Amino acid sequence: MTKEVNCKVECVNGCILGDECPNKEYAKEAKKFLDDTSLDKMLEMAEAARLKKLTQPPKWVIPDEI
């Protein structure tokens, strides 16, 4: 039986489940990305995402209760 864990809260200092972690595959993908992608390329990606967000129109959030 796998223990229910809120990773965002309980694993902030590292995974507490170890080999039983259901998110191991994502960690492998992230490590591969970090190993294969230069810092300059990551900065280019971040800047492109920032510029895209700046050019999008504002999103209005209307509360349910006014």
Contact (Cβ atoms closer than 8 angstroms) between residue 20 and residue 2: yes
Question: 27: closest CA among 15, 37, 16, 12?
Answer: 15
**What is the three-class DSSP state of 64?**
coil
The pLDDT profile of the chain, 66 residues, written as one tens digit per residue, is 456 888 888 888 888 888 888 888 888 899 999 999 999 999 999 999 999 999 998 888 888 876
**What is the three-class DSSP state of 48?**
helix
Task: Write the DSSP string, 8-25.
Answer: HHHTTTS-SSGGG-TTHH
Q: Is the pTM of this model over 0.85?
A: no
